[in-house]
Amino acid sequence: MTLQEIDSVSVTILMDNSTDLLITNSIHANRPRLTTNEEILFPLPIAEHGFSALVDIAVHGEEKKEKNNMGKKIKYKNNNSIFLFDAGASEDGVIHNADIFGIDFDRIDGVILSHGHFDHFTGLANILRKISLSQRKTTGINLLVHPEAFLKRWEVFQDGKRVKMPFLDEEHLKELGALIHKRTGITFLPSNESPSLLVTGEIPRETSFEKGFPFQYVENRFGNETRLIPDPLVRDDQAIVVNVKDKGLVILTACGHSGIVNTINYAKKVTEIDKVYAVLGGFHLPADGGIFEEAIEPTLKELQKIDPDYIVPCHCTGWKAANKIIETMPEKYLQSSVGTIFSF
């Protein structure tokens, strides 16, 4: 199946690690306002260590000539599909920001979960509650998720410290109206008949420098005993890909545990489209003094070869990697901030 061309895509950053209401609009980036009518716009949006984005894809229908009393006129039919990609790290942060920006969750066609880490799913329960109070009370909302997003995970560090991570409760989500679709491979949305958005499913790991999340372990039962088993790949990590007419691929990651280079290369392979127009999202390159920081330089070299027109690092990309992108590819860099609408 071929990924259909779309006319445009807009990505609204509902949650990210930073907010800056003093940034001015720029090409492809529409920023939220701080003031109106000589007053500060309260309440202000919030930032947190998490990610959420609203993805709005537009496909214009064929021309339709209709007769009316004034003669012929041309009417275009717009087909928009809107998806929520992740839900942030707190119970109400995304809802708080969505209310400020006038976003109605009743309009979304579904939710896509990038992976099963708390900073991407914690707000989901209250978003589902909000939707259930609307006209969708009896129909529910589609939730696309990799089955391993429901694993019970821990982080185990080299110094022996262990942290139990919050986990997704599948039955609770169903009670709140989620119609859960578990997929490991590629999914086309809104349907196979209208394949205008691609969700990658599992992304092959091919580069030597993108090492997943080595500190991650998963609970496993052995009889009456619970053991922690290494689970470094975060196989449930997935990205969104669209093909914008006359521009190329726009790729949106959340944490990028698969590696941003692996993600881009896989998107190019499965779509058979070589041109990458924009890459947005978390690249998971924090300046940790270890394996993630070591991956910054080789990642930048590969990004320069891929040569996207625009790069929008978000969330877990880290200050050092973001600054390196600015230094090496300043004309491609677009700053992310909560409330920004990126349009391509």
The pTM assigned to this predicted structure is 0.93
* Digit-coded pLDDT (tens) for 311-324: 999 999 999 999 99
Give the pLDDT of residue 230.
94
Could you tell me the two tokens for 116?
A: 């099963």
Q: What is the pLDDT of residue 287?
A: 86
Residue 124 scores a pLDDT above 50: yes
Q: How high does pLDDT run on average in the chain?
A: 92
H or E segment and range at residue 36: strand 35-36
**Residue 288 CB neighbours (<10 A):** 11
Domains defined for the chain, CATH in brackets: 5-343 (3.60.15.10)
Q: Residue 109's closest CA among 168, 197, 4, 170?
A: 197
Residue 322 has a pLDDT of 97
CB 156, CB 228: distance < 8 Å? yes
Looking at residue 11, what is its pLDDT? Answer: 98
pLDDT band for position 189 (50/70/90)?
A: very high
